Chain A
Amino acid sequence: MIQVTITQAMTALGLLLAIIGLWGILTRRNIIRIIIAFTILDTGVHLIMVGLGYVTKGTAPILDGELAALGTLNVVDPVPSALVLTAIVIGLAVTALMLSYAIRLYQTYHTLSIDEIKEMKW
């Protein structure tokens, strides 16, 4: 039987989400759906990040008695978690900005279909 670690499973799941997100960005015509696809992509990437730092049966990286007992090798790596927190915040900001763009685009073009928003080219 193939052993699947949590890290591998989460990476696979994250990749799947990322691909779904990319597929959504490339195929959906509605701007709101594109934005949702973007958040899926973002979540996938975050999942990959968190998964990479995970240590099976490890403990939280908090300096307490349990840490002393288990030793530093069995602590979940705190860096990816810290990174993910930052990335989530940034992702949120970008999503908010995209949504406000969507509102503006709807106000000026009176449509949310990205097909109809291509005034500039070449």
Chain B
Amino acid sequence: MVSPIYAIAIPLGAAFLLPLFEKAGKNAAKALVLAILAALTALPVSWLVVWIVNTPNLAGLLRVSPLAVDTGGFPAPISIRLAAGIGEALVMALVNLTAFLGITHMLVRSQAKPTGKTLVLLLTLVTGVNGLILTRDLFNIFVFLEITSISTYALIASNGSKRAYEAGFKYIIAGSIASSIYLVGVIYLYRLTGSLSLDHLPRSGGTAIALMLLTTALLLELKPFPANGWSLDVYQAADPGISAMVSAVGASGVLFVLYKLTPLLSPTHLRLIAGSGAVTFVFSQVIALRQTDVRRMLGYSSTAQIGLMLLVIGSGRGTIPTIVLLGLLLGNHMLSKAGLFWVTDLIDGNRTIASMSDSGSLPALARNKPLLVAMIGILLAALAGLPPFPSFWAKWHLVSALVPNGRWLLVAVVLGGSLMEAGYLFRWFTRFTKASEDPGDVHQERIPADVPVTTRPQTGTVSSRSGKEALARQAASTAAATQATTQTIPQVVRQAEQPVEISGSPVPTIIATLVLVFGGIAAAVGFLAPNQELILLVPLAVLLIGALLDTLRIPSKIQLLLGMLGIGVYSWLLLPSLGGIPLVFGLLFLVGGLLQMIALMQRKGHQPGLAVLVSTLLFSLGNLLFVQSRLGFFFSWELMSIVSYLLIVRGRAASGAALRYLMFSLGGAYSILVGLVLLPTGFAPHATSSLWAGILLGTGFLIKIGTVGLHIWLPGAYAEAEDEVSSLLSSVLSKAGLFMLFTTAGLFIQPLLRSVPGVTLAYLLGWLGALTALAGAFLAVFQEDIKYTLAYSSMGQMGYMLLSFALMTQLGWINSMYLAVTHLLFKTMLFVAIAGVVHRTGTRLMYRMGGLISRMPVSFFSVLIGIIALSGVPPLTGFGAKWMLYTALIEKGWYLQAGMAFFASAIAFLYLFRLIHTIFLGQLKDEHREIREAPLWYLVPQLIAIIGIMLVSMFPNLLIKPLEMAIAGYFPQTIAWQGSTLVSTLGYWNGNAVMYVTMGVFLVPLVWLLATRRKHNQKVRQFNIVYSAERPDRPQTTHYAYNFYAPYRSALGSFLTPWATRFWKRVLSVVRVVGSSTRRIYSGDGQTYALYVLLYAIVLMLLLRGGN
């Protein structure tokens, strides 16, 4: 194997010789630099390959004896030893690869190409970092530290900007104080031990202060909060290429030195390192939330990530070796952060585009360079620790190491900080993805003023015109206004599209992204293989194949057909191996998902990402059905969350809602993560365990369900997603949380307090379910926007399912799943029918519709069946559900909950009536006179669902008997069958009889009316109604359907206060205030920063004394 000395000698020699090569030609020098960095990357890789070939497993690999070189021909304590073990090789490979890509990036970009001097400095920087990684001598570390620092100081100034000089000077002051501290530490250590060699220093005794000085100095180089003001200025002001090098390359060397020092350190030292890391992590994330400059935001993210790695170093001793954890985090951070800095360089044509507040040019970028934006998404996802990227696995293992040791504060810091990081990173991402007319903060329905103020008629002329004429004119003006809005959108686009140019070649960034993706997949294989769960990677494979098809611009129809075929085959193979509850939900997820995909077939042309995301979502739902290990489950769950986020963000004004969805999903996922780690026996169905595991897992699942209080994400996400996608989310995805509740039901049945055996988590879930049903129904009543109505309606329905589940009786569970299946069917009908209506009318506001029964009869029929099935009136499925629900509630003795559920059902009638009345009955609007029935692809799934509902309504045993079998054995039998009649302790239900009786009750009066009253009937025409001589300037205010239930609203008064929304807004504003006030410490004054550096050092020394 090649000696590690070359890793220092070659770049250092080349740095000195580079001016000579420049004489031979600029390109010769550039080629030399790149060749050297390629060789430096290949060198550690060659070591790794040899080691991996020669050792069979990971444990052996970690024990491999390092490659050591004693310089000068003397053995170690006298000479300086360079040693490369597995950790060194790994970090060196990453560092040199990143440096190679970074320099390539700077060479191929179109402006500010590095000069020969810059190249020399870059080479010395790389020399310094390689030296830091390899050397085993403390003083030699100082030398390399200074080589690294001095080249960095000089590099910062290389772009010649005013701000760079300022930042560089602040950096020098802080850095020189840190190196003085290091020197004093080294000399004291030498005085006390007589050695400077890491391999020969004694492991104990009297050296605590000297070691603390060294540690403090290294920590200071790693930009700890609050002594890191200078570093943020550097990230903000320096050339992004240099910032990437500072963040990724420079910091990695110092971090590795600290890691090398850990065998010498006492637990107190380690605690201080971990503590400082934790403080840095959390405060950097909080402050990053408030940043408007993207590079400064990335800078805060960098300091935070390094803080996280310090936390890992300080609190190691995990389930996997610290170096693996560190390697995952470090590699992930280096490549993603460097990649993002390069991206800001690429898109920063006019020096403003990288600003967070720049709203115009980023979406244009997304349209022109979709691949670039996809790449940004990948880099951000990696940085935020989403699956399958390396930091995702690191996060899992970090938390599973912290939780058993009871280090709750650190757990809270890691997860809370990660959540904030995902928040601000994806807030930036939504700036790219949102459409230019999307205000970005849509979470509630918005009712526009539908007549522009300029077209308001003159009051004097009103009386002179007839109502008919006025109305026609008004219709014309509305049509003109609609046309105008459709015309202005392309204009906005055209304006924004001008400045979109990327300056340079994205190839280095693409390579970094690909390395991250493949690293992530390799990590996934590595971590899932021990449990034989590689099959969980199927969704990822689907994602990759789909991304490939998208790149080739295959039309969406073909992609969808392929996806449906894939899911069909998958179901065919998977479902027969399942049984019981997983089989029920398997059918729900996969077959239900197929039903949803039919509606998507309506899309024309190439819809980037649509088919692939839907397919991936369904496959990752499929994962949940059979996953056994905790890690595998968490992986699938997070994958599902991120894919559904990407689906939602496709909506036209959905960016704000999607971000909110992501935040709640990730929060839930982190809650689940801790809960899973708390499960002692691993993730297995019906494991019984501690209360906290139940609470945390339950919270995570309830977020997905959208129970009241945790439902904030729900209305926006369901309503603002694309219309067919809303149907998928509401009818299929929402059941994932319910399925997991069923799977982990054992956690919820222990009493909370020993003295009150009746009060279990399930009991609380029951109340939550009832409250959710009530809140969903109430909220749905007062919406003007039809999709918000349906979204809240879904929330209410999930409440019934939760209530039934929480009963923990046979009938309760049957009813919960019965509701889940029928909800899939009727919500598909409603959402897809409404998608058709919205598609045809171009509006979602109910008062702008009306009378559509004559134009869209099939949709009308579908909605009619849907609301009957939902409302619980005979004869359709809802009646059975209600019958079972009340029976089960009364059997259990939950009378109050039964009352609430009953009340909620009554409220539901209000919005359901409005749905059919406002949209399909009443007067047809002028502009809707010519519209046609919904497209065929929309009608097919509705018809299938109608057939399903009708079958289940006529023959309830078709569904209930299999459900009864699915949960056989869990509960004592409380129901019996007599033919197709379901008998409970309280009564019986015969679906057939109910159907016939209801049909009779409906048909007999109808026939009688038609026969006897025919000649008295008169069709009410539009102009039978006049405006009482008034001419409204906001027509909706006089429309009967506008604010339909205003009296109820005033009657309810303060009951309608959005408590939950207020609560979460308050939480957000508290975080913001903390961020705003904390960042005041960064006053911008170099001397203040120097003072922080000094105070930081003093506080650490004092804490060391206190800790001993």
- Interface residues of chain A, those whose CB is within 8 Å of chain B, are 18, 22, 25-27, 31, 34, 38, 41-42, 45, 48-49, 52, 79-80, 83, 86-87, 90, 93-94, 97-98, 101-102, 104-105, 108-109, 114-115, 117-122
Contacts and interface: CB of A to CB of B under 8 A. Distances in A.
Contacts of B87: none
A79 B168 contact: no
Given A52-B187, A98-B172, A120-B236, A108 B165 contact: yes
A120 B237 contact: yes
A45 to B, nearest CB: 5
Given A94-B176, A104-B157, A122 B1086 contact: no
Given A34-B173, A93-B150, A101 B1094 contact: no
Interface stretch (B676-684, B738-746, B968-976, B1077-1085): B1077-1085
Interface stretch (B177-185, B240-248, B839-847): B177-185
B1080 A109 contact: no
Contacts of A86: 139, 142-143
Contacts of A93: 146, 150
Given A26-B1094, A94-B150, A117 B166 contact: yes
B233 interface: yes
Interface of B: 139, 142-143, 146, 149-150, 153-154, 157, 162-163, 165-169, 172-173, 176-177, 179-180, 183-184, 186-188, 190-191, 196, 229, 232-233, 236-237, 287, 290, 296, 1079-1080, 1082-1087, 1090-1091, 1094
Contacts of B173: 25, 34, 38
Given A41-B180, A49-B183, A52-B187, A97 B1085 contact: no
Given A18-B180, A26-B1091, A101 B1082 contact: no
Contacts of B167: 120
Contacts of A34: 173, 1087
A22 B1094 contact: yes
B267 to A, nearest CB: 28
Contacts of B169: 31, 98, 101-102, 105, 117
Given A26-B1094, A104-B157, A105-B166, 6 more contacts: A34-B1087, A41-B176, A94-B179, A105-B169, A114-B1086, A118-B1084
B168 A101 contact: yes
Contacts of A45: 180, 183-184
A18 B163 CA distance: 30
B228 to A, nearest CB: 13
Contacts of B177: 22, 25, 41
15 contacts: A25-B173, A25-B177, A31-B169, A45-B180, A80-B187, A86-B143, A94-B172, A97-B154, A102-B169, A109-B162, A118-B1084, A119-B163, A120-B232, A121-B1082, A122-B1080
Pairs A-B, 8 closest by C-beta atoms: A121-B1084, A118-B1084, A108-B162, A122-B1079, A90-B146, A120-B233, A49-B187, A104-B165
A109 to B, nearest CB: 7
A86 B188 CA distance: 17
A96 to B, nearest CB: 10
Contacts of B1087: 25-27, 34, 114
B1083 A121 contact: yes
A114 B1086 CA distance: 7
Nearest to A102: B169
Contacts of A26: 1087, 1090-1091, 1094
Contacts of B139: 83, 86
Contact of B146 (A83, A94, A104): A94
Contacts of A22: 177, 1094
A48 B187 contact: yes
Which of A42, A94, A120 neighbours the largest number of chain B CB atoms within 10 Å of its CB? A120
Contacts of B191: 52
B172 A101 contact: yes
Contacts of B196: 79
Contacts of B143: 86, 90
B159 to A, nearest CB: 12
A121 B1084 CA distance: 4
A87 B183 contact: yes
B877 to A, nearest CB: 58
Contact of A42 (B180, B233, B1083): B180
Which of A31, A34, A87, A121 neighbours the largest number of chain B CB atoms within 10 Å of its CB? A121
A117 B1085 CA distance: 7
A102 to B, nearest CB: 8
Contacts of A101: 153, 157, 165, 168-169, 172
Nearest to A97: B153
B162 A119 contact: yes
A100 B232 CA distance: 22
A48 B213 CA distance: 14
Nearest to A115: B1085
A109 B169 CA distance: 13
A76 to B, nearest CB: 14
A79 B172 contact: no
Contacts of A48: 184, 187
Nearest to A49: B187
Contacts of B1090: 25-26
B162 A114 contact: no
Contacts of B190: 52, 79-80, 83
Nearest to B232: A120
Contacts of B1086: 114, 117-118
A115 B1087 CA distance: 9
A98 B154 CA distance: 10
Contacts of A38: 173, 176
Contacts of B233: 120
Nearest to A39: B176
Contacts of B183: 45, 49, 87
A97 B184 contact: no
Nearest to B233: A120
B1094 A97 contact: no
A105 B160 CA distance: 10
A94 B168 CA distance: 12
Contact of B1085 (A31, A80, A87, A114): A114
B948 to A, nearest CB: 58
B165 A105 contact: yes
B180 A122 contact: no
A86 B169 CA distance: 23
B956 to A, nearest CB: 64
Nearest to B187: A49
Contacts of B1080: 122
A118 B1083 contact: yes
Nearest to B138: A83
Nearest to B78: A79
Contacts of B232: 120
A47 to B, nearest CB: 11
Contacts of A119: 162-163, 166, 1084
A65 B416 CA distance: 69
A38 B1086 CA distance: 14
Contacts of B296: 120
B291 to A, nearest CB: 8
A112 to B, nearest CB: 11
A64 B167 CA distance: 52
Contacts of B157: 101, 104
A55 to B, nearest CB: 12
Contacts of B179: 90, 94
B187 A120 contact: no
Nearest to B171: A101
A79 B194 CA distance: 10
Contacts of A42: 176, 180
A89 to B, nearest CB: 9
